[in-house]
Amino acid sequence: MSSLATRCLVLGLSALLAAPTQARGQQTEQELVQHLDTLVPLLRPASARAHAARRAYLEAVEARVPTETVEVGLVTVLVVPGEEAAARDVVGHVWTTEYAPWVDASPGLSGGRIFFRWADGEVDYRSASFPVRSVQGSRWRTRAYMERGVRRVIGDFLKGDLLSTRLGREWAMSSIEAPADPTDIYRRVVSMPSQSARACLAGDTDACLTSFGLGPGDFPVEDWYTPGERYLLVTRNTARLGLAGAMPCLRRDYAACDRILADQWQRRLTTPQSRLWAVPFDGEVRGSLLWYAVTEGGEGAWGRLLQRGDDTPLAALEAASRMSATELAAGWHRWLVENRPARNAGLGSVALGALFWTTLLFALAARSTRWRLG
């Protein structure tokens, strides 16, 4: 909204709020609506002018930067002249090895563009015709750095495909890309204060589905957490979220804690920015399950996921992976255990270090005393 439109709206609302208290109390809802309706003739042309100005600005930016188009599978890449080969190499490698085997169609990738630049100096490129996501890095940046950027923007375009679906609304997750550090997913699961997460780690596939929020029941909080864990979940987020009515819970009234969790769960779709996620596994862990489902599903997995996107999240994941819920959870659990961090106390390196320094100090001492060797 333009500054003019904003000022009009503020002035109109200020006039209403500045009226005497008694008069405001006597105003009916219909009168308030009539007052607001008087602002519409001012807002519409102001909004149209703001939109036109914004489009003109984007067209000017787009015309100022000459670009060439490179097609890589479903991805359209824009580059400045001379960087076509680098774009085909970097973007092509990421697309071919990580996404092409299972992405058959994507509204986000078809409608958007990636602006790729691997050279000194960043370029502010935008478009009035399509969304653009930028991957830029100086020449001293490594190839791995540029590939991470490509994964990020492709994953963001794919995530955008899900935003209008039930899967995207009810089962929020990280960007659609391979976990950068699979061992981090294991650590997240291990560190989760949840009885269902612990059971999942021990190999209970039903507990894994429950921890993902994919089990039966809309809000199985008693299956997720013990009473003490539910108390900690509320108390650790009270200050951050300003949870109302938290005092009884802080006094260890576990029923009051459950009421707060249930209230936050009901608000999860209307106020996502302040939601208190009660599902044990966070967006990173959920993202790893979706990635496992589509990569195991192979050809056409993304299309099948989108087709079932308005079914339950579990039904969409089953369709993408071509597995039953139990098979999907069991396969993901095997992947999780395979990526468990190596556990070692480091005694070997400590012992070698101690031996080295002992030998060095003995040699120096022997050469600096009357009992020195040689």
- Phi, psi dihedral angles at 82 (to 5 degrees): 105, -10
The angle subtended at Cα 67 by Cα 63 and Cα 73, nearest 5°, is 130
Q: Which two tokens stand for residue 127?
A: 């478009």
Q: Cβ distance 301 to 106 under 8 Å?
A: no
Share of the chain above pLDDT 70, in %: 72
User: For residue 279, how many other CB atoms are within 10 A of its CB?
Assistant: 23
Span 9-22, average pLDDT = 49
In this prediction, residue 274 carries a pLDDT of 45
- Out of 7-21, 66-80, 139-153, 332-346, least confident range: 7-21
Q: Cβ distance 321 to 305 under 8 Å?
A: no
Picking from 66, 151, 71, the residue whose alpha carbon sits closest to that of residue 110 is 71
316 vs 306: CA distance, rounded Å = 8
183 vs 9: CA distance, rounded Å = 52
In this prediction, residue 260 carries a pLDDT of 83
Enclosing H/E stretch for 72:
strand 68-72
In this prediction, residue 262 carries a pLDDT of 84
Domain ranges of the chain: 3-63, 68-162, 197-338, 346-374
Span 129-156, average pLDDT = 94
Instruction: pLDDT band for 254, please (50, 70, 90 cuts).
Output: confident
Instruction: pLDDT band for 285, please (50, 70, 90 cuts).
Output: very high
Measured CA distances, 56 to 87, 312, 373 (Å): 29, 42, 85
Return the CA Rg of the chain. 29
pLDDT of 104-139, one tens digit each? 999 999 999 999 999 988 888 888 788 999 999 999
Burial of 248 (0-12, 13-18, 19+ CB in 10 A): middle
Q: Cβ distance 332 to 289 under 8 Å?
A: yes
Q: Which two tokens stand for residue 21?
A: 């208290």
Q: Cβ distance 276 to 243 under 8 Å?
A: yes
Residue 217, C-beta contacts closer than 8 angstroms, at least 6 positions apart: 223
